[in-house]
Amino acid sequence: MTSFTAACVQMRSSRSVADNIAQAEDLIRQAASAGAQYVQTPEMSNILERSRADLMQKITLEADDPMLARFRQLAAELGIHLHAGSLAIHLADGQVANRAFLIGPDGAILARYDKIHMFDVDLPNGESWRESATYRPGEESIVAALPWLKMGMAVCYDVRFPAIFRSQARSGAAMLTMPAAFTRQTGAAHWHVLQRARAIENGAYVVSAAQGGTHEDGRETYGHSLIIGPWGDVIAELDHDEPGIVLATVDPAESLKARQRIPAIANERDFALVGA
């Protein structure tokens, strides 16, 4: 097992797919030029649009998605593994998927993941979100193979559901991914502790590219893209909400060491729940 350089691309996606492609491409090229072999973009890289009607007019089927097509070209040109944290993808039945893609250095799509947990919440500051009104939730947890290790795929709100990541770690994933568009309010309260907790309890790296700042559709996202080590330490952070990149070395041997020190996965036992 050899180490590699991972990068998070932090974006401020707008209502314009074309503008978002240009922003993402510039940052991806910066990351590759800095030595990144794996580059991850945030949730909803192709568009952030609160209006369902406007969203439906601007997104396409997977086969026609312009950002996905450009990402495939970039991965092949730059010779990198490019992880589209997620794109809004029109489905044939009229619904929408919040779908992540892992693209190989030949431009081929290696894995797809549809966000399982929908962010249906009413926050104390008056924000209200109902992702289930627009998006069809996924049903499968995905572990993908990189040349250096196995990688678990998830998106944003999934971070609050530890069972996904435990199942991925049990399947051998030494790196977990949680690209996000975390709200500013919940991010300030919980972003770092949730990312670190998922790393600690699974002895795995966590790589999470984020959206940041005030977006064209009015939402505010937290930023602070993170790469967490398997002992729970923050090894790289973009400590603001502006677009940019952050890189770190990922060494699969460190995950193995963490799991040997605290063998929580090996020690885990089934149990019965009694009472109500």
- Write out the catalytic residue numbers: 43, 115, 156
DSSP for 222-238, written as a single string = E---EEE-TTS-EEEE-
Q: Three-state DSSP class for 4?
A: strand
If we measure between CA atoms, which residue out of 231, 177, 239 comes closest to residue 212? 239
Q: Is the dihedral of CA 108, 76, 60, 129 positive or negative?
A: positive
- Give the DSSP letter of residue 147: S
Q: Considering Cα of 170, then 172, then 175, then 176, what sign does the dihedral take?
A: negative
What contacts 200, CB < 8 A, 6 or more positions away?
Answer: 231, 232
* Of 113, 39, 35, residue with least CA distance to 71: 39
Number of residues in the chain? 276
> Radius of gyration (Cα) for the chain, nearest Å?
18
Q: Find the helix or strand (DSSP H, E) in which 6 lies.
A: strand 4-10
Q: In the beta sheet, which residues pair with residue 98?
A: 88
Measured CA angle at 99 (ends 95, 102), to 5 deg: 155
